[in-house]
Structure 1
Amino acid sequence: MLFFTQCFGAVLDLIHLRFQHYQAKRVFSSAGQLVCVVNPTQNSKNGSRRCGASGGSSKASSELHEVVYDPQLTSCSCPLYACKWEGHLEVVISHLTQTHTINILQGPEIVFLATDMNLPAPVEWIIAHSCLGHYFLLVLRKQEKYHGYPQFFATMMLIGTPAQAENFNYKLELNRNQRRLTWESTPRSVLDCVDSVITDGDCLVLNAPVAQLFSDNGNLAIGIAITTNKLCPLDSKT
């Protein structure tokens, strides 16, 4: 009987997951887009977190106490995790997938389906996106501007340098009930830190009522498209 109950529960979960995929594909006109269902991460931080390129790999001379900073050393890109990891750009994606089990999607156009958007702030939804020879991070965060006033912030970050980020454009699109909202910009480098991007307001910003207009049963579907804006050398990573 217990086995039957567990199997039946698993079937219901699968049906619900397939329904979420269907809902997202129904919202967007391009049914061929890959849909990724992204579950939220709630705040598990303990203490403050250093932001941006930290220079954590400093080397002090015993006589001069000179500090040498590595400009490509970055903190963990999952701000709501209590993670003190730091590393170079080439190992960021390995850390995210192995330590935080962040999913990687491939292709220039995908649909990001954030579930349970009505959870109390702070909460985040994160995926990695592989296309055009590079890795990107899509971060959706819900946090309070002040008490009782939550907002949603969505941004695309390149796992690369700021100079490399200038070679790309990204578009985020919300589309539901004959309403469409689009944000287009150049991605920021993960060296800039998600916290800094949100503080600067250099991202898609939604207040709670607007987010509700585009939500469907507590889920928010965001179409993502990444393009190059100039001829640039691309890595072999896909």
Structure 2
Amino acid sequence: MEMDNIECVSTSDGLEDEIPHHHNHNYNHHHHNHQNNPQIPQFSSLKTHNVNVVVPLTINRTTSVHELLECPVCTNSMYPPIHQCHNGHTICSTCKTRVHNRCPTCRQELGDIRCLALEKVAESLEFPCKYSSLGCPGIFPYYNKLKHEALCNFRPYSCPYAGSECSVVGDIPYLVSHLRDDHKVDMHSGYTFNHRYVKSNPREVENATWMLTVFNCYGQYFCLHFEAFQLSMAPVYMAFLRFMGDENDARNYRYSLEVGGNGRKLIWEGTPRSIRDGHRKVRDSHDGLIIQRNMALFFSGGDRKELKLRVTGRIWKEPPNSDGSNVCIPNLCS
């Protein structure tokens, strides 16, 4: 949903950092080849009581073991329970259901046979994080790898654009270019901003979201959002800032927002949330400047039939206090 008019005036602070050019990164998973480790075992198939059992042999390449631990259906690494058919072909527990209990290799019925030998060998292996190509230096036991990767600081970011289900992922320079080129988001350099929101019939706006601007300051990028939604059955507007980076780095910055008119004003001060948190999560936590519609119309002046809000703000760098005294309660800080 678009507003009738959105005007942005960003005060220049002499920061002329250019927005990086569009770099397309490939984040497909890669297998890692450790060719100099003679301790990694390989496997062969041994038939016992008409059931093939995988047993270890000695080889010198981790790649072969990793390939054995790769599910033939989804190609992801297999974690217990690892299933096998009567001919010794393995499959992960998730895909066992997807293939209707039929081996994708030989079409035999899978049954409930566990490949305990492969599970046991997997316990002794260590692998690099799948985001090692993006800078993660970690080496993890096989069964701890998934848990780490879900929280890895080097994992790609999701597109922070609000109001759409954009599936693009990438690093911060790539996403900045993506927001500018594909979503046509305004880009500004500087740590102060001045936005004016105008809507001829604000009562038509019950549930809408806008990502208005990306700011470049202190060598980092910040996204300014504006929302219209229902809070306890009351229509409200909300403005908040998100940091394009991880949570730990976001805590090094603070921002303030101010809106007012007719001799009154509201002030919000807080820490920007990381784009690791989706804009809906931030909105639903009420972590930003919340303006009741009646108050917004009062600030707009006139006959209160047209919304005319001016929101100003600034961003500054300030390491958080160790005692947590910088935590703000929404709309109670000034």
Report the TM-score when normalising by structure 1: 0.66
More helix by share: 1
Gapped runs of 5+ residues in structure 2? 13-26, 31-74, 80-91, 93-142, 321-334
| 1:218 maps to 2:307 | yes
Q: State the partner residue of 1:209.
A: 294
Deviations 1:156-182 (A, max 9, x none): 101111111111110000131211110
Does the Cα contact within 8 Å between 1:114 and 1:220 map onto a contact in 2?
A: yes
Indicate which of 156, 163, 182 corresponds to 2:248. 163
| Alignment pair present for 1:114 and 2:197 | yes
The within-5 A match list for 1:56-71 is 61-64=76-79, 67=146, 68-69=149-150, 70-71=152-153
How big is the alpha-carbon RMSD for the aligned residues of Structure 1 and Structure 2?
3.1
Matches of 1:205 and 1:58 in 2, distance apart?
41
Deviation at 1:81, TM superposition (A): 2.0
Change (3 A) 1:121 1:86: farther
Rounded Cα–Cα distance in structure 2 between residues aligned with 1:164 and 1:102:
23
Aligned-residue identity in percent: 23
Question: CA, structure 1 residues 87+211, in 2 after alignment: closer, same or farther (shift >3 Å)?
Answer: same
Q: Which consecutive unaligned segments of at least 5 residues does structure 1 have? A: 1-15, 26-31, 35-55, 232-238
Higher Rg? 2
1:230, distance to aligned residue in structure 2 (A):
3.7
Report matched runs for 1:63-82 at 5 Å: 63-64=78-79, 67=146, 68-69=149-150, 70-71=152-153, 72-82=155-165
Distance 1:63 1:163, change over 3 A: closer
Are residue 140 (structure 1) and residue 221 (structure 2) matched? no
Partner of 1:84: 167
> What does the per-residue CA deviation read over 1:29-60, in whole Å, with 9 as the maximum and x for residues that have no partner?
xxx946xxxxxxxxxxxxxxxxxxxxx97786
Tell me if the contact between 1:170 and 1:225 (Cα under 8 Å) persists in the aligned partners. Answer: yes
Q: 2:275 aligns with which of 175, 190, 194?
A: 190
1:154 aligns with 2:239: yes
Distance (Å, rounded) in 2 between the aligned partners of 1:191 and 1:99: 20
Distance in 2 (CA, whole Å) between partners of 1:167 and 1:107 is: 17
Aligned to 2:258: 173
What's the offset of the Cα at 1:215?
Answer: 2.7
| Shift, 1:146, TM fit | 5.5
Q: CA deviation at 1:93?
A: 1.2
Number of residue-to-residue matches in the alignment: 184
Q: TM-score, normalised by structure 2?
A: 0.49
Code of the aligned partner of 2:177: S
Deviations 1:114-150 (A, max 9, x none): 2327142222232111112111001010012366x32
